[in-house]
Amino acid sequence: MLLEVKDINTFYGDSHVLQGVSLQVHEGETVALLGRNGMGKSTTLKSIMGLLRPRSGRIVFKNKDITKLSLFKKARQGMGYVPEERRIFPHLSIQENLLIGSRNKTGEGAWDLDRVYHHFPVLDERKAMSGAYLSGGEQQMLSIARALMGNPDLLLVDEPTEGLAPIMVQKVAAIIKEISYAGVSILLVEHNLNAALALADRVYLMGKAYIGYEGTAKDLEQNPDIRSEFLEV
Amino acid sequence: MTKIWIKTLAAIILIGLLIAFPKVMGVLNTNIFIGFAIMALFAVSLNLMLGYTGLLSFGHAMFFGLGAYTTALSLKHIDNLPISMALLLGVLGAVVCAVIVSPLLVRLSGTAFSMLTLAFGQLMYIVCLKFREVTGGADGLGGFPVPDLKIPFTGGIDMTDPVNFYYFAITVLGGCILLIWRFTKTPIGSVMISIRDNDNRVDYLGFHVPSVKSLVFIVSGGFAGAAGAIYALFQNMVSTDGVLGLFTSFNPIIMTIIGGVSSFTGPIIGAGLLTILEEFLLRYTDRIALFNGLVLILMIKFAPGGIMGIWDGVYRKWFKRRTLS
């Protein structure tokens, strides 16, 4: 088991926004966390990463309890985070944006500039440009590539296709698939059901602040009642 | 001509002009130039925090002042102390101060950071003012010996000679500015800019933001201390109002904003402009701060990016036209 989230409870002030959420990600697996808006998907990722502190529960990563570890230490343990809204550094060039994320591994199999540019040729073509001049989809690729430069064992990706044109959704989805094939485990929060089902091995569906369903992507595809209960408006 | 050749040629011309300056411009202008170079280093060191890391310090004079006082006191009390050692002790004094106060400051940002630096700056001012036996209080500390610069296989170089001192000061100050420039080009430089943009994003890339801020604070303080040490040697006089007063903290901020916060050369240009303005105005009035304030207001109102911001705009427009035509 790479990541085990056990019964975490997170609050925004007095609002109990995660109520006993538990999930697992195995090595090499892509897991999607789905649900309607406001169910707590992004909050779950933020709680795992340490941007929010759960009041109770445990987070175990690579057999170590990392619940109380600070954000930067979680990153150093091998957890990469791609936030919502493509938060790149607009005053750095594309290459500088990538290099700032670089850490951990060297040698064969490591995510370095060459490997990242191989997977993201659009970034290679514009490496000297400011990240601010990229389109939304290209910024999303930069954000994912920057997280990969940290050579994570697990990548937490928050709504990677949100607000993108359909052609860019396909490109970003293809990149995530490539990363998954390269052996990186992924926990993906996604609102686009088709994209998530195409990428994920397993899925969790969230109701209001809780996990309501766990199963394989195939099972969910064949279960319209569950989809209707948790995903349709 | 390739870019590297243009840069090399520009550097050779600049060094040539700096060498020729005292011979062409005379002692008075040479001394004005040293004053400008001291303020340029002071402002560049401040800009590591303000422009690069997004931390506005209202108390940067504490490092400048400690550098000046440490150098002056060590020359006064240690016999036969080489000038280079006095300079290094000045830097060390500022660095020690930065190491002590940084843990209290680096977890803060915005107004809280600015106010606490102001408080520390004023605390240092009061301590030096009241500690008369050591610092000379409001009267200051003057007349300490300025030793010759000892260079192996040559005789000592008289540092009381203004031209000799000019070459020494320009070498040290220019060297410090080059070192700061190199520092901004290291990976830490990118991390500093990223912290300014959004420190949370830097955190989840695996950087401990307070540690990076602490490093920047110490480096910035150390170089401000170097500027203060040269100031002490240059003036042969150190006083609380001269090196620790509020205006000593505000001046590099004003210079940086006028020159351009978002560029490395902005503070140098700002220091140059204010030095020229001061020398011109001194012929008519001693109300220099009034005019500095006026320039600052005009700059913030009409060119918030400073002189370098104006230059960038003009260059882009010109360059665009040239490439389109």
CA distance A193 to chain B (A): 27
For A101, which of B200, B205, B208 is closest by C-beta distance?
A: B205
Rounded CA gap, A15 and A22, in Å? 19
- Helical pair B306-324 and B266-281, crossing angle rounded to 10 deg: 120
Residue B324 above 50 pLDDT? no
With CB atoms and an 8 Å threshold, state whether B206 touches A49: no
For residue A151, what is the nearest residue in chain B, using CA coordinates? B205
Q: What pairs with residue A200 in β-bridges? A: none
With CB atoms and an 8 Å threshold, state whether A92 touches B201: no
DSSP B180-222: HHHHHHSHHHHHHHHHHH-HHHHHTTT--HHHHHHHHHHHHHH
Name the DSSP letter for residue B152.
T
pTM over 0.90: no
Who wins on pLDDT, B114 or B283? Answer: B114
Cβ neighbours of A92 in B, within 8 Å: 190, 193-194
Q: What is the residue type of B280?
A: F
**Residues 178-237 (B) with a CB less than 8 A from some CB of A:** 187, 190-191, 193-194, 196-198, 200-209
Residue A38 above 50 pLDDT? yes
Residue B83 above 90 pLDDT? yes
Per-residue model confidence (pLDDT) at position B226? 97
Could you tell me the end-to-end alpha-carbon distance of chain A, in angstroms, rounded to an integer? Answer: 34
CA distance A71 to chain B (A): 6
CA distance A59 to chain B (A): 17
Q: Which residues contact B88 (CB under 8 A, 6 or more apart)?
A: none
Percent of chain B, pLDDT > 70? 98
Q: What pairs with residue A81 in β-bridges? A: A156
Rounded CA gap, A23 and A154, in Å? 14
Arithmetic mean of pLDDT, B84-102: 96
Residue B196 above 80 pLDDT? yes
DSSP H helical ranges for chain B:
3-47, 61-77, 83-105, 110-130, 132-135, 162-185, 187-197, 199-203, 209-235, 240-243, 246-259, 266-281, 288-302, 306-324
With H, G, I as helix, E, B as strand and everything else as coil, classify residue A26: coil
Arithmetic mean of pLDDT, B83-94: 96
For A100, which of B194, B203, B208 is closest by C-beta distance?
A: B194
Range of the domain at A185: 3-230
Which of A188, A212, A217 minimizes the C-alpha distance to A202? A217
Cβ neighbours of B198 in A, within 8 Å: 87, 89
A63, A97 Cβ separation under 8 angstroms: no
Per-residue model confidence (pLDDT) at position B1? 61
Rounded CA gap, B35 and B261, in Å? 21
Mean residue pLDDT across chain B: 92
Model confidence pLDDT, tens digit, residues A107-166 = 667 888 988 898 888 899 988 988 888 888 888 889 999 999 998 999 999 988 887 788
B250 touches chain A (CB under 8 A): no
DSSP A120-186: -HHHHHTTTSBGGGS-HHHHHHHHHHHHHTT--SEEEEE-TTTT--HHHHHHHHHHHHHHHHTT-EE
pLDDT band at B37 (very low <50, low <70, confident <90, very high): very high
Which of B144, B160, B232, A192 minimizes the C-alpha distance to A176? A192
Per-residue model confidence (pLDDT) at position A73? 92
- CATH number of domain containing A16: 3.40.50.300
Q: What pairs with residue A34 in β-bridges? A: A205
DSSP B8-46: HHHHHHHHHHHHHHHHHHHHHHHHHHHHHHHHHHHHHHH
A98 touches chain B (CB under 8 A): no
With CB atoms and an 8 Å threshold, state whether A72 touches B203: yes
Q: Position of tokens 């010996």?
A: B145
Model confidence pLDDT, tens digit, residues B264-296 = 999 999 999 999 999 999 989 888 888 989 999
For residue A148, what is the nearest residue in chain B, using CA coordinates? B205
Q: Position of tokens 């766990």?
A: A214
For residue B210, what is the nearest residue in chain A, using CA coordinates? A72
HSE-CB for B111 with a 13 A CA cutoff: 0
For residue B211, what is the nearest residue in chain A, using CA coordinates? A72
How many Cβ atoms from other residues are within 10 Å of residue B181's Cβ?
A: 13
B221, B106 Cβ separation under 8 angstroms: no
Name the burial class of residue A4, with classes exposed (0-12), middle (13-18) and buried (19+) by CB atoms within 10 angstroms of its CB. middle
The total number of structural domains in chain A stands at: 1
User: What's the distance, CA A198 to chain centroid?
Assistant: 15
Arithmetic mean of pLDDT, B255-269: 93
Q: What is the residue type of B105?
A: L
For residue A83, what is the nearest residue in chain B, using CA coordinates? B201
ipTM over 0.90: no
For residue A103, what is the nearest residue in chain B, using CA coordinates? B206
Per-residue model confidence (pLDDT) at position A111? 87
Model confidence pLDDT, tens digit, residues A68-81 = 999 999 999 999 99
Per-residue model confidence (pLDDT) at position B286? 85
A85 touches chain B (CB under 8 A): no
For B190, which of A71, A74, A96 is closest by C-beta distance?
A: A96
Q: Which residues contact A1 (CB under 8 A, 6 or more apart)?
A: A24, A25, A26, A27, A60, A63
Fold annotation for B25-324: ABC transporter involved in vitamin B12 uptake, BtuC (1.10.3470)
Cβ neighbours of B197 in A, within 8 Å: 89-91
Which one of A69, A71, A97, A133 would you mutate to disrupt binding with B, by most B Cβ within 10 Å of its Cβ? A71
The token pair at A166 is 């359909």
Cβ neighbours of A51 in B, within 8 Å: 200, 204
Domain ranges of chain B: 25-324
Could you tell me the end-to-end alpha-carbon distance of chain B, in angstroms, rounded to an integer? Answer: 21
Of the ranges A220-224, B48-52, B186-190, which one carries the lowest mean pLDDT score? Answer: A220-224
A157, A186 Cβ separation under 8 angstroms: yes
CA distance B316 to chain A (A): 15
Residue B170 above 90 pLDDT? yes
Rounded CA gap, A59 and A51, in Å? 14
Name the burial class of residue A155, with classes exposed (0-12), middle (13-18) and buried (19+) by CB atoms within 10 angstroms of its CB. buried
The token pair at A43 is 């909050």
A52, B184 Cβ separation under 8 angstroms: no
Cβ neighbours of A50 in B, within 8 Å: 204
Length of chain A measured in residues:
233
